[in-house]
Amino acid sequence: MERDIEQILLTPEQIQNRIRELGEILTAEYADKDPVIVGVLKGVVVFYADMVRQIKAPCQMDFMWLSSYSGTDSTGSMIVRQDVTADIRGRHVLILEDIYDTGNSLTYTVEHLKKKEPASLKICTLLDKPERRKPGVTLQADYVGFTIPNAFVVGYGLDYNEKYRNLPFIGILKPEIYEK
């Protein structure tokens, strides 16, 4: 698998250091709010597990599973495979996302959850790739781990056709792998 990586963009140490920093910020933000922390599956699993352990405040865990990708391209249409199970009306909700790129899935997620009338709704994304944002997408993440260039990245939960999620780092996939 590692032979398919063109460049390591973020090392395990860089990722864990930033998660600790975000954990301190989110602990202060949610200390007395008993938030519901919603992870957007599947890519968020690794980040989610590490992030919730760094939030030193009571919280409830929940997940949504959306699908919009085929290979390296977003199809633009959302499929909700699993919705949140918690009643989030009047609750503080924090969305954890692995990567914010085109904005399609995150915008859909935010609009979907807003209909459930949470007290507040904020976004924490490990990776922000603003160069990939679709025209007209104005949504901003409240907390960002890293801003990255417009390259196809895998590892630490991120995949290409369900592969590479288990790499401990985030790397740029060699173009010849996905341009076949």
Q: Which residues are catalytic?
A: 101
Tokens 């060699």 correspond to what residue?
A: 174
Structure tokens at 173: 């996939």
Rounded CA separation 25/109 (Å): 23
| Amino acid of residue 141 | A
Specify the DSSP element, H or E, that contains 125: strand 120-128
Kindly provide the residue ranges of all beta strands, DSSP E only, lying in 11-101, ordered along the sequence.
36-41, 60-70, 73-82, 92-100
| Residues ≥6 apart with Cβ < 8 Å to 73 | none
Dihedral sign of CA atoms 143, 70, 68, 79 in order: negative
Measured distance CA(87)–CA(67) in Å, rounded = 22
